[in-house]
Structure 1
Amino acid sequence: MLKNIDPQLNPRLLYLLATMGHGDRVAIVDRNYPAYASGVEVNHLGSLDSTQALHVVLSVMPLDRFEETPMIFMQPADAGGPLPVHQAALSAAADAEGRPIACAWRERHAFYEEVRTATVVIATDESRPWGNILLMKGVL
């Protein structure tokens, strides 16, 4: 047992997050995302939604301060702006980091390509559409 580690962080996920370096990426994806098609190791946090998984990851991993947009969302095809799932993620990231976090948007297929560069894909039980996030690891 470890102190002050969220119990949702299973040993494999902790290992992957710990071995990532500055600028490496982690993807948090919803239940509709084709996670296994990415070719990246998939770690399931199936009982959590995207915002909860983001909170768990950011409890141990800093976001990149050198990148203008350390969070990337999949661009909703049918929405005019950020959806509640995106607003919740931005709020959770700001709370975890103690600063506002800027985000970027990628068209669906461009997002799929960027996820292929991630160290790990975290599959969640997120049911809200477009609940997919790509994060860049920072430094302490």
Structure 2
Amino acid sequence: MLKGIPTIISPELMKVMMEMGHGDEIVIADGNFPATSHGKRCIRSDGNDIPKILDAILKFMPIDTYIQNPITLMEVCEDDPVNPVIWKQYQEILGKYKYTGNLNKIDRFEFYNRAQKAYAIVATSEKAQYANIIISKGVVLL
């Protein structure tokens, strides 16, 4: 054990975040996302929801400030009546870490393609639809 690391961050997730470099992307996926078949590194975080994982990750990993859209969400499919209220939670959490930019939205299949190229996917038990989020890692300033 180490001091100050939230228990929601597994040793494997901490290792992956430390391995990631500037511009590498991490996907935090909801329970419906095909994480294992889409990721070269799939980190299980069963029993956890995305807002808690997002908050814990951002305590250690900066958001990329050198690109226009460092935060990407899966856009709601056409004719789907779902209103992803979880996105408001994301904005609150991101604001806590001084991110005030837009939440970029891309269609489902483009999101899947990006996820396949991501450094890792964190598979959660999040039940909210359209809760998937991609974060581009920034530079750690000393």
Instruction: For residue 102 of structure 1, report the CA deviation from its aligned partner.
Output: 1.9
Residue ranges of structure 2 left out of the alignment (5+ in a row): none
Which residue pairs with 1:22 in the alignment?
22
Over 3 Å counting, the alpha-carbon distance change for 1:127 and 1:20 in structure 2 is same
- More off after superposition, 37-46 vs 67-76: 37-46
Distance 1:99 1:85 in 2: 17
Following TM superposition, the consecutive aligned residue runs of length 4 or more in structure 1 with deviations greater than 2 angstroms are none
TM-score (norm 1): 0.92
CA contact (8 A) 1:94 1:101 kept: no
- Listed as ranges, the matches of 1:47-126 within 5 Å are 47-77=47-77, 78-79=80-81, 83-95=84-96, 97-126=97-126
Distance 2:61 2:67 in 1: 15
Aligned residues: 138
Residue ranges of structure 1 left out of the alignment (5+ in a row): none
Distance 2:129 2:21 in 1: 30
CA contact (8 A) 2:39 2:115 kept: no
CA contact (8 A) 1:93 1:101 kept: no
Which residue pairs with 2:43 in the alignment?
43
**SS of alignment partner, residue 21 of structure 2:** coil
CA contact (8 A) 2:76 2:130 kept: yes
Determine what percentage of the aligned residue pairs are the same residue. 28
